[in-house]
Structure 1
Amino acid sequence: MAGSVAALFRLTAGHRPCVAVATALTLAASALGLAQPLVAKHVVDSSSRGEPPWPLLLVLGALFAAEAAAGAIGRFLLDRMGEGVVRMVRHALVSRLLRLEMRELDRRRGGDLVARVTADTTLLRDVVSQALVDLVTGCLVSAGALLLMLWLDPLLLLLVVATVSLAAVAVALLLKGIRAASEHMQDSVGAVAAELERALGALPVVRVYRAEEREARRVGERVDSAYRSGVRAAKLAAVMSSAVELAVQGSFLLVLVVGGLRVHGGGAGSLGDLVAFLLYASYLVLPLSSVFRALGLIQRGTGAYRRIDEALALPEEPDRRPAPAASPAPAAVPPTSAPAAVSPAAPGPSPAGPGIPADPAPPALELADVRFGYVPDRPVLRGVSLTVPRHGLVALVGRSGAGKSTLFSLVARLYEPDAGTIRFDGRPAASLGRRESRAGIALVDQNTHVLEGTLRENLAYAAPGAGEDEILRVVRLARLGPVVRRLPGGLDGRLGDRGGTLSAGERQRVALARALLARPRLLLLDEPTSHLDAVNEAALARTLSEATADCAVLVIAHRLSTVQHADRIVVLDDGRTVASGRHDELLTTSPVYRELATAQVLRGPRR
């Protein structure tokens, strides 16, 4: 328990002054409350002597009002602090999740990660804003009440301590079960989010295959699991609460009976002493209840904290670049109009070391014997070498599973190769930060991601500062004019979640326009014509021809029309580059290419 409290207390770093003020106000309110039974004692004693109690009653009213004001201000400060802690934790989680290593992200479920940002942090807010301070103030106030009760009547206090101790034993036995049930409930809530995201992400497929009931049962199993864990936690909490309530009420009744007999028999104390003791006994209920409630809430919050802490410890994608060498790196060379060429066997010229100048016009991209696998001992790329010149269109073809999309993931530095070298403009990727490498790359992948928002926001996603003329230029190049005219609001019309208001071909053209707006040095296109009709496919060919004047283009080709327009074609088979050349040449020299060309349409899954 001490470890859990310490871990949760660390979350309040940066809010300690607010916590201190709120705690002081809460303690002041409690002290004012503790003074009230003493004033009530004097009111009773004065009344029994026939003296007017009005001044004491005014003091009692003032104490009550001051207690309420101090408690309200303290509670507001604590709630504000709790919201601040949750805000800080959510910012940290969002930042971490958006920077996760791709290998780690592949192993996780998106819905569960989202639940850690939403449901888990909400539970954590209650713990930080209530439980920690309630635990401290409740213990202090209980101690003060017990000391005053000891001063008034030690024997009666012994009866109270005996009954409350029984409740403490019950609480200690139940806390472990509450924590386990709460952790399981939070895990189940995360699983609900993950399963629901899975079903909603594939809703057209779910409906076409009439799988609504199956998916509802699948998600429902997780919901039922969360329900069972929540009910178990609630049952244990109810037993704990009842034990505390019975103990406090039992002690109150014992004090009332035993104390009344003693006062009636003249054994000890006055009626005022008994009234004061009874008030303290009843007053003890609130701080003790808050202490036990705080202990239960901390146990439930520990499960949420564990999940949050686990997410914050997930490995981020590194963006380190080596320290600069003694000699400064050469300045980037402007593009030239060198003729397109590609060599799968050997990389183009590159620096021999950090201080050696590069070739005046190094290729935009070079891969030398690149090897990679998503899991150990299961390689996807077994030795890929190719060169993409600074201008021209290079097509990458191969059977399903040959490694084409995986190669794109490596070039975009979503993953790092297990062996081999990747160079950008003659510079080894290992000498560059990932953000620096990506600054010159634009990607249109198979999924053609369209984000919720306006068409303008989607187009300018890679170039937020792009002007109106630049946006209109890519609209024209990608033939998005009909989309702009159709959307209510034109460029400022909303596209819906995942571009739901667009067709697959329109989403593909939006992704292409977004990539062109970034004016990259290297444009990566994965199946750019998969959703285009013949008219738009021909327009794309013209667009790519224009693009090669400004940048290098590497395209995963799945149609002969795209392949035939390529300056050079690289053939992948079983994770290796097996041939390179132009279309007519490869038809006679490469059996793999001839087989693909005969099929007319070259298709393959993402990996």
Structure 2
Amino acid sequence: MRDLFARYAGADLPLFVVGVLTSILGRVASLAPPLVLGVAIDATFNDDVAYTLPFVPAEFLPTTQAAEVWVSVGIIVAALAASVVLTWTNGAALSLFSNRIQHRIRVDSYEAMQRLDMAFFDDKQTGQVLAILNDDVRNLRMFLGTTVSSALQLVATVIGIAVILFSLNWQLALVTLVFVPALGVFTLWFMRSIRPRYRALRASVGDLNTRLENNLSGMEVIKTANAEAHETDRIHESSWQYYLRTWAVAKLEYLYQPSMDLLAGLAFAATFLIGGLWLVGAAPEPLSGTLRVGEFVTFLFMTQRFVDPLSGVGRIVNSYENARASAERVVGLVAQPVTVTDREDAIVRDRLEGAVEYDDVTFSYLPDRPVIRDFSFAAEPGDTVAFVGPTGAGKSTAAKLLLRLYDVDSGEVHVDGVDVRDLSLDSLRSNIGYVSQDVFLFDGTVAENVRYGSFDATDEELEDAVRLAEAHEFVVDLPDGYDTRVGERGVKLSGGQRQRLAIARAMLQDPAILVLDEATSAVDTETEALIQRGLARLTADRTTLVIAHRLSTVKTADLILVVDDGRIVERGTHEELLAVGGRYAALWGGQTEGSVGSFLGGE
């Protein structure tokens, strides 16, 4: 918590200081009315008692009873008005401060998340990350915006009341404040007990969000698999775990809050009992001296002002522990180790030529389980290299190593003779156009999705790219043409339409290297033939890596690599591989005869 405050509070620290000062001054101003009321009562109804106010010279005070009443009323009204103004200023300042802090933490957390390795996203559920970026960051804002103010007001109130009460009657003040140590000990126990429960609660929020996010995204699968009952049971289980953790926190809160109310109430009752007995008779043993009515009234009012904030200690502690758990999760996200980063002396190049070489590359997602083994090949600028092979052979993984979505375990991947780990990520990725088999479109317009990554492209350039991808005809038939919103993940479009827009996006980028991972798998043969003509123009002067399902689309490739179990088992041109009569020839024969063998597939 302290680390986050130190990192983000600097720019808006004046707002925080204003919030703190007005919070304290507002609480001090609220203590003036009961003090003035007690003084006025004693001075008005006791001729031998002078009208005195702390910190006010006697020559500035009235000398007649009527004037004393008017001055007392004026001070009370002024104090109430000042309290209102100060409270508003406090709320506005801390609200601005906390919301700005929330904004910066959320943006920085997201930016840090973007830098994380793809391995992080392979392991982390989307709902868990969303819970951190939304719920946990919001908890920090609420803590800084309201809880800090409440805590400061509590401290100012307790100190202010203690000073006033001790100045009036130190013996009765001891009676009023005797329960404060017990409140402190009880609060310390509560904080230590509830901390692990809040951690578990925050984790369960992420789990529940993950389950809900997954189910909403996969609703079509749920319905087509007739799995509604199964998913309802799983949501029930996740929600039940969240309920149990919420109840674990609530049980402790319900014990703590009433207990705090009881101790604070006992302080008020003890003050009323001892002070009342003192007024109607002699001072109870071992107390001594006198107690005036006005002092007693001030004590009762002050004790009530003392009771209310103390009874709110539970809410302050709850908010603090909740924010503490959230801060741990935010810091944990930002502190995730990142391995795929720019080196200090990273090479920066605006435009690459496109020569690609894999030199004895090995890579594994899990220890000792490589998915790419001894992978080697070379492509000159403008060459087309095709990967074919069964599902799970490692074809897509091999292509992702070129973009440094992952770093190799051993061996090297070169572009233009430079290890990709020595190039800046911006230089590398801005020169590679990537079309995944799992096309992702954002919830925006067609034009926005095609322009993604080429944000400055003109309308003419945009339309040319869409035409090359054979998508212009269906786009202009949409309700709003290029301004039609495609829905979340492009749900309003067919799979083939989404793929064509993804190809158009890569074409608009005009990269030196193009990676096509099953880029036409969701289109029919006729549309694929049209797209291939456009791709032929696009790939004519750039290096292209193609992961293909239909071998007819890669038979003109300069090099075809047959991949199985992470290894290159055959390599050559279409004619060379057919002449060998190996796996590729068998696969080609199976496809041309209209049947697809078990060897065929995409990763």
Name the CA shift for 1:292/1:202 in 2 (closer, same or farther; >3 Å).
closer
Residue type at the aligned position of 1:486: D
Find the counterpart in structure 2 of residue 489 from structure 1: 480
After TM superposition, the score normalised by the length of structure 1 is 0.89
Find the counterpart in structure 2 of residue 258 from structure 1: 274
Find the counterpart in structure 1 of residue 76 from structure 2: 60
Find the counterpart in structure 2 of residue 542 from structure 1: 533
Name the CA shift for 1:286/1:11 in 2 (closer, same or farther; >3 Å).
farther
Residue type at the aligned position of 2:337: P
Give 1:191's match in structure 2, choosing from 190, 207, 225. Answer: 207
Distance in 2, Cα, partners of 1:374 & 1:280: 66
Distance in 2, Cα, partners of 1:199 & 1:55: 68
* CA-CA distance at 1:179 after TM superposition: 2.1
Give 2:26's match in structure 1, choosing from 5, 16, 29. Answer: 29
1:205-242 per-residue CA deviation (whole Å, 9 max, x = no partner) reads: 11111111211221222222222222232232232221
* CA-CA distance at 1:54 after TM superposition: 2.5
Distance in 2, Cα, partners of 1:146 & 1:540: 82
Partner of 2:515, secondary structure, is: strand
Find the counterpart in structure 1 of residue 427 from structure 2: 436
Question: What aligned pairs does 1:136-175 form with structure 2 within 5 A after superposition?
Answer: 136-175=152-191
Name the CA shift for 1:433/1:331 in 2 (closer, same or farther; >3 Å).
closer
1:533-584 per-residue CA deviation (whole Å, 9 max, x = no partner) reads: 1111111221222123231221012112113232331222222222222223
Question: What aligned pairs does 1:158-557 form with structure 2 within 5 A after superposition?
Answer: 158-267=174-283, 268-316=290-338, 318-321=340-343, 323=345, 364-557=355-548
Distance in 2, Cα, partners of 1:322 & 1:60: 65
1:475-524 per-residue CA deviation (whole Å, 9 max, x = no partner) reads: 21111123212212111111111111111111111111111111111111
Distance in 2, Cα, partners of 1:194 & 1:467: 39
Find the counterpart in structure 1 of residue 35 from structure 2: 38
- Conserved in 1, the CA contact under 8 Å of 2:514 and 2:539? no
* CA-CA distance at 1:156 after TM superposition: 2.1
* CA-CA distance at 1:25 after TM superposition: 0.9
Asked if residue 15 in structure 1 is aligned to residue 12 in structure 2, the reply is yes
Residue type at the aligned position of 1:13: G
Partner of 2:11, secondary structure, is: coil
Distance in 1, Cα, partners of 2:371 & 2:590: 24
Runs of 4+ residues over 6 Å off in structure 1:
329-333
Distance in 2, Cα, partners of 1:582 & 1:284: 87
- Conserved in 1, the CA contact under 8 Å of 2:15 and 2:96? no
Partner of 2:554, secondary structure, is: helix
Partner of 1:487, secondary structure, is: coil
- Conserved in 2, the CA contact under 8 Å of 1:43 and 1:57? no
Residue type at the aligned position of 2:308: L
- Conserved in 1, the CA contact under 8 Å of 2:264 and 2:311? no
Name the CA shift for 1:145/1:292 in 2 (closer, same or farther; >3 Å).
farther
- Conserved in 1, the CA contact under 8 Å of 2:349 and 2:427? no
- Structure 1 spans left out of the alignment, 5+ residues: 336-362
Give 1:589's match in structure 2, choosing from 567, 571, 580. Answer: 580
Distance in 1, Cα, partners of 2:446 & 2:194: 49
Residue type at the aligned position of 2:179: T
Distance in 2, Cα, partners of 1:507 & 1:113: 27
Percent identity among equivalent residues? 31
Name the CA shift for 1:210/1:494 in 2 (closer, same or farther; >3 Å).
same
- Conserved in 1, the CA contact under 8 Å of 2:437 and 2:518? yes
Partner of 1:373, secondary structure, is: strand
- Conserved in 2, the CA contact under 8 Å of 1:178 and 1:300? no
Give 1:579's match in structure 2, choosing from 557, 570, 577. Answer: 570
Name the CA shift for 1:499/1:222 in 2 (closer, same or farther; >3 Å).
same
Name the CA shift for 1:181/1:330 in 2 (closer, same or farther; >3 Å).
closer
* CA-CA distance at 1:160 after TM superposition: 2.2
- Conserved in 1, the CA contact under 8 Å of 2:42 and 2:294? yes
Partner of 2:197, secondary structure, is: helix
Question: What aligned pairs does 1:66-105 form with structure 2 within 5 A after superposition?
Answer: 66-105=82-121
- Structure 2 spans left out of the alignment, 5+ residues: 48-64, 284-289
Distance in 1, Cα, partners of 2:382 & 2:349: 21
Partner of 1:564, secondary structure, is: coil
* CA-CA distance at 1:182 after TM superposition: 1.9
Number of equivalences: 572
- Conserved in 1, the CA contact under 8 Å of 2:350 and 2:427? no
Partner of 1:372, secondary structure, is: strand
- Conserved in 1, the CA contact under 8 Å of 2:28 and 2:156? no
Residue type at the aligned position of 1:111: G
Distance in 2, Cα, partners of 1:463 & 1:201: 27
* CA-CA distance at 1:129 after TM superposition: 1.6
- Conserved in 2, the CA contact under 8 Å of 1:96 and 1:312? yes
1:318-369 per-residue CA deviation (whole Å, 9 max, x = no partner) reads: 44245379xxx99968x6xxxxxxxxxxxxxxxxxxxxxxxxxxx6211111
Name the CA shift for 1:493/1:555 in 2 (closer, same or farther; >3 Å).
same
Find the counterpart in structure 2 of residue 108 from structure 1: 124
- Conserved in 1, the CA contact under 8 Å of 2:19 and 2:94? yes
